[in-house]
Amino acid sequence: MSLKVAKFGGSSVADAIQLAKVKKIVDHDPARRYVVVSAPGKRFDGDNKMTDLLYLCRTHIEHNVPYDQVFQVICDRFRAMELNLGVKVDLDSEFDTIRKNLDEGAGPDYIASRGEYLNALLTASYLGFDFVDTAGLVRFDEKGRLMDEETDKALREELEKHENAVLPGFYGTTPDGKVKTFSRGGSDITGSLVAKAVRADVYENWTDVPGFLVADPRIVNNPEPIETISYQELRELSYMGASVLHEDAIYPVRTVDIPINIRNTNDPQHPGTTIVSEASPKDGRIITGIAGSKGFTVVALYKNMMSSERGFVRRTLGIFEDLGIKFEHLPSGIDTLSIVISNKELGDRLPELLEEIERRMNPDSIEVSDDIALIATVGWGMARRTGVSARLFGALAEAEVNIRMIDQGSSEMNIIVGVHNKDFEKAIRAIYEAFQEN
């Protein structure tokens, strides 16, 4: 029999109504033996995510403000879920322990992780599965870095003892036993680690959307769904803003070639999107997806005979390293070098950066564009077809979109263009229409 690991996101476990859907999904397929859950998400517009409420408790403590009222909201919500699910978990004891640890100075990672912990207790009782805490199993070193091999071994040895289990996502522990969390959305990573540890046949990631779409539906009307996508294509799209799955969740299952299936809890019959090692384009499809985001600055350096000046690029990037500024892309020409930086990363440090470049590199001129959006067009089929670039650039020209930057990866799997922020949506629609198959 096949083995599946099913991770359910915050919207899928937001309340008893959603957890009833989860139970139907799990009961429908006995292969779904291991379940990873997030903290309860929003139940409706204007509602609060459980993790945000927990962080708010910690903020109150840091500012010496009573947190009792916020904590009571958290307790009441979990008690309501317990009542509506018809299960009995000793929540009062758990709440007392959490409050005690908070009063004794427990860190922000501990309090943030309690949403997943409590939700896993409830879900395990509701499904009739064993509860397995990821504390002590998902292992981080003293510097907070995930210990891959130790985590894989610990999870595998523990889960071999359980036919069925529910595990909380998002956190693990350091060698001294302190709770350490992943970044937000990190329950995706926990699910991937569990799938790798048990060598699952499929890692199912259940959320509130039916997989990936070729383009953002807020920009393109009714874009086509993506049935199959490769790990590498997904990494490219996730990096550029497609956020259905935490991008770090790809690596653990990729190393052992386990496919990921993105599914919709509210529409379980929909096949969703399957992420595999290497996708082969179907029906002659050229591109897989289009993604992008606004808010970048391009610093373009011009210097005569730059290409013959040994170490110019290395010394320029050394300035960024010295200032602690990360860059996104590095398109270059024979006498030009452009560095693309996220505005969030750059902050208010542009004058300092330009001063250092002038002082240390002595360029002939520097041009700064601070209203740039980046758009990535991604697909395995691009490398197998002639005229892809011409079609893309032709579509942008016809839409009267001025291209400020072009960067193409060596794999020929993606083309990134920089446009003005005001042209972002228009550019994405033009590219989509140029490659629309139907």
Dmax (CA) for the chain in angstroms is 75
At residue 413 the predicted structure's pLDDT band, cuts being 50, 70 and 90, is confident
Q: For 18-95, where are the E strands, in sequence order?
A: 32-37
Chain region(s) in the chain for CATH 3.40.1160.10: 4-208
pLDDT digits (tens, 9 = 90+) for 211-245: 889 999 999 999 998 999 888 888 788 777 766 67
Is pLDDT above 80 for 185? Answer: no
pLDDT digits (tens, 9 = 90+) for 26-66: 999 999 999 999 999 999 999 999 999 999 999 999 999 99
Is pLDDT above 70 for 313? Answer: yes
Pick the CATH number of 289-435 from 3.40.190.80, 3.30.70.100, 3.30.2130.10, 3.40.50.261: 3.30.2130.10
Please give the average per-residue pLDDT across 172-192, as a whole number: 93
What's the rounded Cα separation, in Å, for the pair 271 and 260? Answer: 12
What's the rounded Cα separation, in Å, for the pair 125 and 88? Answer: 8
Q: What is the pLDDT of residue 438?
A: 46
At residue 249 the predicted structure's pLDDT band, cuts being 50, 70 and 90, is confident
Is pLDDT above 80 for 409? Answer: no
The top-scoring range by mean pLDDT among 14-23, 232-241, 249-258, 402-411 is 14-23
What's the rounded Cα separation, in Å, for the pair 21 and 12? Answer: 8
203 to each of 149, 200, 250, 360, 400, how far by Cα in Å?
Answer: 19, 7, 10, 50, 43
pLDDT digits (tens, 9 = 90+) for 354-394: 999 999 999 999 999 999 999 999 988 787 778 888 999 99
pTM of the complete model beyond 0.75: yes
pLDDT digits (tens, 9 = 90+) for 132-169: 999 999 999 999 999 999 999 999 999 999 999 999 99
Look up residue 339 and give its amino acid.
I
Chain region(s) in the chain for CATH 3.30.2130.10: 289-435
Superfamily of domain 4-208: Acetylglutamate kinase-like (3.40.1160.10)
Is pLDDT above 70 for 281? Answer: no
